[in-house]
Chain A
């Protein structure tokens, strides 16, 4: 047992050394992208494995963005599948009906972006009731929103009604998923390590006190909802073009529940937690596929155990050093140093 512990600590030390390098992120990004492009062009990876990796990426985007509202801000939104649906439908309609057949690959990022913007606009509308309602009540509002999106889509024949929409080319490739995942993690991480973070966290702790400490709570809530739903829309667009078929039932409350599980499994208010949660959940579901129906017993059981032994998730309220900017710590160190030197200077 002790040798195991020692091995773990050496491994951890190496890991810290590796991630401590300034060039870690740039190198990781270029290497990751190069790998994805290589897989995409030379196809040395099983297509099934590729699809799983694509789902991992999409789920990371969904989890990180939902964590902004449910984790950092402490609200309980169950409408994430609704935003995803808006993104999926907007992007798919563009690629199926509007874009010329020859230029699909070129225009694909625009379609995804449009899906994100559409979802962001809807997110802005949902932000308004969040000014007045909190907790359970906001959960009901977002639940209603999710149902509205589903039934509206089911009743518009132009988008296929309940039969759904098909005809998308398989445009979601591994490099694109890598790009969008990296972008969403980077943007949300930046947002979370700024003034905005203190805004959302203070809203979770005590909304009235935070308003009285000069935090513009309305603005913070709008930003949180818009950014979160923007990335849900992006994920939706990617999802639609990976599966090449969407219908309204895919984006019902169960899909939201899936995302919620990933958030609470990985840990609230943590970016590294969201990534861990999304990766574990997606891969575990695939590994357990041979179990058949029992898979649906195993997963909830893990959740129950998790809630008992680690109610805030694996990385709840913690962050891997990899994602925290060193600036905060550095500023404090410099300040302490200055304070220590100050008496010498005056003497």
Chain B
């Protein structure tokens, strides 16, 4: 059974068709890349999956459960987490709190119990603090647990964002340009890192990226978007030779 099944997904912004007739299926444990020139609608697809935008037409199904019409926090609780193209951490809060916020949906006590600090409150707080610290330790961020997120270096902020996304216990992880602003050396490290995340947390990953080295290196399958339309799908080696993709990226050769 496919993990995520998107069919006939279409979204318009006041007449501009950002995504049109997008069909996509991903099996559990796959690693798929979404590429395309700037403005092709890649991030819009992520925003539609996570419920930030509501799709005009089409359906998105996670394990046969319809996601269109659900709010972002409901979708996150169902098992989809994401990172952002421009890092969106809670900058003024501590690294630990950043991860603990992502446990919000898993807390079992009610607002009334929180109001009086009774019942399951203590046990639950202890549980999520320990889990957040364990997660930070895995990502080697536990030494800076009490630091403000904005004081971390750029690379660590990217890492924290992924840790935060994983804290929601997703089945599907959406990474929006994880390599933005990284040098070739760091990109090689990031490739290892993404493979390792998939193994350790057994998540399915969809990746938006411009860095061809990264995409060609780790993705098992690629989807190419251009002006909201899907122009190609297939193995990385096939995509590299696809004339339509070359046209989208490099333009058409003018007959002289």
**A: which residues have CB within 8 A of B?**
187, 190-191, 193-196, 198-199, 201-202, 204-206, 208-219, 223, 227, 317, 325, 327-328, 331-332, 335, 339
The complex places the Cα of A339 from the Cα of B134 at a distance, in Å, of 9
A216 to chain B, nearest CB (A): 5
Q: Given A190-B115, A205-B90, A205-B92, are A199 and B129 also a contact pair (CB < 8 Å)? A: no
The complex places the Cα of A206 from the Cα of B114 at a distance, in Å, of 23
- List residues of chain A with CB within 8 A of the CB of B106: 214
Complex contact B102–A194 (CB within 8 A):
no
Residue B241 at the A interface, CB < 8 A? no
Q: Given A187-B115, A195-B109, A212-B72, are A202 and B129 also a contact pair (CB < 8 Å)? A: no
Could you list some 7 contacts between A and B, CB below 8 A? A194-B121, A198-B97, A205-B91, A206-B90, A214-B77, A327-B125, A331-B126
The complex places the Cα of A332 from the Cα of B125 at a distance, in Å, of 11
The complex places the Cα of A210 from the Cα of B96 at a distance, in Å, of 15
B71 to chain A, nearest CB (A): 7
Pick the contact of B125 from A194, A201, A223 — CB < 8 Å?
Answer: A194
The complex places the Cα of A199 from the Cα of B102 at a distance, in Å, of 10
Complex contact B90–A210 (CB within 8 A):
yes
Complex contact B93–A196 (CB within 8 A):
no
Residue B246 at the A interface, CB < 8 A? no
Residue B195 at the A interface, CB < 8 A? no
The complex places the Cα of A219 from the Cα of B82 at a distance, in Å, of 22
Chain B interface, number of residues (Cβ within 8 angstroms): 47
A sample of 16 more A-B contacts (CB under 8 A), given A213-B165, A223-B111, is A190-B117, A194-B121, A194-B125, A195-B125, A196-B114, A198-B100, A199-B104, A208-B88, A209-B84, A209-B88, A212-B76, A214-B106, A216-B73, A216-B105, A217-B73, A339-B137
- List residues of chain B with CB within 8 A of the CB of A217: 73
A313 to chain B, nearest CB (A): 15
- List residues of chain A with CB within 8 A of the CB of B167: 213
Complex contact A201–B145 (CB within 8 A):
no
Nearest residue, chain B, Cβ from A201: B93
The complex places the Cα of A166 from the Cα of B184 at a distance, in Å, of 77
Residue B8 at the A interface, CB < 8 A? no
Nearest residue, chain A, Cβ from B164: A213
- List residues of chain B with CB within 8 A of the CB of A214: 73, 76-77, 102-106, 168
Residue B122 at the A interface, CB < 8 A? yes
Complex contact A191–B115 (CB within 8 A):
yes
B255 to chain A, nearest CB (A): 48
B131 to chain A, nearest CB (A): 10
Complex contact A317–B92 (CB within 8 A):
yes
- List residues of chain B with CB within 8 A of the CB of A187: 115-116
- List residues of chain B with CB within 8 A of the CB of A211: 71-73, 76
The 5 closest A-B pairs by CB, nearest first: A214-B105, A194-B114, A205-B90, A214-B76, A211-B72
- List residues of chain A with CB within 8 A of the CB of B182: none
Complex contact B125–A215 (CB within 8 A):
no
Complex contact B133–A215 (CB within 8 A):
no
Residue B17 at the A interface, CB < 8 A? no
Complex contact A198–B133 (CB within 8 A):
no
The complex places the Cα of A199 from the Cα of B93 at a distance, in Å, of 12
Pick the contact of A215 from B92, B104, B117 — CB < 8 Å?
Answer: B104
- List residues of chain B with CB within 8 A of the CB of A198: 93, 97, 100-101, 104
Complex contact A332–B104 (CB within 8 A):
no
Q: Given A209-B84, A210-B101, are A201 and B73 also a contact pair (CB < 8 Å)? A: no
B112 to chain A, nearest CB (A): 10
Pick the contact of A205 from B93, B104, B125 — CB < 8 Å?
Answer: B93
Complex contact B88–A195 (CB within 8 A):
no
- List residues of chain B with CB within 8 A of the CB of A194: 109, 114-115, 117, 121, 125
Q: Given A201-B93, A201-B97, A223-B111, are A213 and B129 also a contact pair (CB < 8 Å)? A: no
- List residues of chain A with CB within 8 A of the CB of B57: none
A124 to chain B, nearest CB (A): 14
Pick the contact of B102 from A196, A213, A317, A335 — CB < 8 Å?
Answer: A213
Pick the contact of B129 from A206, A317, A332 — CB < 8 Å?
Answer: A332
- List residues of chain A with CB within 8 A of the CB of B122: 327
A209 to chain B, nearest CB (A): 4
Q: For residues 115 through 139 of chain B, which have their beta carbon under 8 Å from a beta carbon of chain A?
A: 115-117, 121-122, 125-126, 129-130, 133-134, 137
Residue B235 at the A interface, CB < 8 A? no
The complex places the Cα of A162 from the Cα of B50 at a distance, in Å, of 52
- List residues of chain B with CB within 8 A of the CB of A331: 125-126, 129-130
The complex places the Cα of A102 from the Cα of B104 at a distance, in Å, of 50
Residue B25 at the A interface, CB < 8 A? no
Residue B52 at the A interface, CB < 8 A? yes
- List residues of chain B with CB within 8 A of the CB of A193: 117
Complex contact A212–B129 (CB within 8 A):
no
The complex places the Cα of A344 from the Cα of B116 at a distance, in Å, of 40
The complex places the Cα of A199 from the Cα of B88 at a distance, in Å, of 16
The complex places the Cα of A78 from the Cα of B135 at a distance, in Å, of 41
Complex contact A202–B90 (CB within 8 A):
yes
